[in-house]
Chains A and B, each alone.
Chain A
Amino acid sequence: MSRADQPRELAGAHPADRGARRARPGLWRPVYAVVERDLVKLWRQKGRLLSALVRPLIWLFVIGAGFEATVGGGGGSYRSFLVPGVMGMAILFGALLGALSTVYEKESGVMRMLVIAPFAHRWIVFAKMQAAAVSAVFQALLLLVILAGLGDLPADTDWALLVLSIFATAYACAGIGMLVAAFSKTLDNFAAIMNFVIFPVFFLSGSLYPVGNLSGLLGVAAHLNPYTYGVDLLKHALPQMSGHAADFAVTLDVAVLAGFAVLAFSVSAWRFSREQAYAPLFGFGGPKKGGPGAGKPGGGKTA
Chain B
Amino acid sequence: MTAPAVHASGLVKRYGDFTAVAGLDLEIGRGEFFGLLGPNGAGKSTSIHMLSSLVQPSEGVASVCGIDTRVDPVAVRQRIGLVFQDSALDRQLSVWENLRFSGLLYDLPLPETRERAEHLIRLFGLEEKRDKPVGSLSGGQRRALDIARGVLHRPEVLFLDEPTIGLDLPSRRRIWRFIAQLRAETGMTVLLTTHYLEEAADCDRVAFIRGGRIVLSGEPAALVGDLGDDIVEVSADQPDAVRAELEAVLGPARVEFETLSFRPPQHDAARLAALTESLGARIRSVVVRRPNLNDVFLWVNQ
Contacts and interface: CB of A to CB of B under 8 A. Distances in A.
A11 B88 contact: no
A275 B20 CA distance: 15
B33 A284 contact: no
B215 interface: no
| Main DSSP-derived SS at the B contact region | loop
Q: Which 8 A-B pairs have the closest CB atoms?
A: A11-B31, A299-B56, A33-B104, A112-B88, A292-B15, A25-B107, A118-B78, A117-B105
Interface string A292-303: 110110111111
Contacts of B75: 22, 24, 118
Interface string A7-49: 1101111101111101011111110110001001100100000
A274 to B, nearest CB: 9
B27 interface: no
A119 interface: yes
Interface in B36-83: 41, 43, 45-46, 49, 52-58, 65-66, 73-75, 77-80, 82
Interface in B72-101: 73-75, 77-80, 82, 84, 86-93, 97, 101
A114 interface: yes
B2 interface: yes
Contacts of B73: 120, 302-303
A303 B58 CA distance: 16
**Could you say which interface size class chain A belongs to?**
35 or more
A18 B55 contact: no
Select the residue from B79, B84, B189 with max chain A CB neighbours within 10 A.
B84
**Could you say which interface size class chain B belongs to?**
35 or more
B96 to A, nearest CB: 13
B29 interface: yes
A282 interface: yes
Contacts of A298: 13-16, 56, 58
A102 to B, nearest CB: 13
Nearest to A275: B55
B18 A287 contact: yes
Contact of A118 (B54, B74, B101, B204): B74
B46 A118 contact: no
Contact of A302 (B14, B31, B56, B90): B56
Select the residue from B66, B91, B187, B220 with max chain A CB neighbours within 10 A.
B187
Contacts of A120: 73-74
Interface in A261-303: 275, 278, 282-288, 292-293, 295-296, 298-303
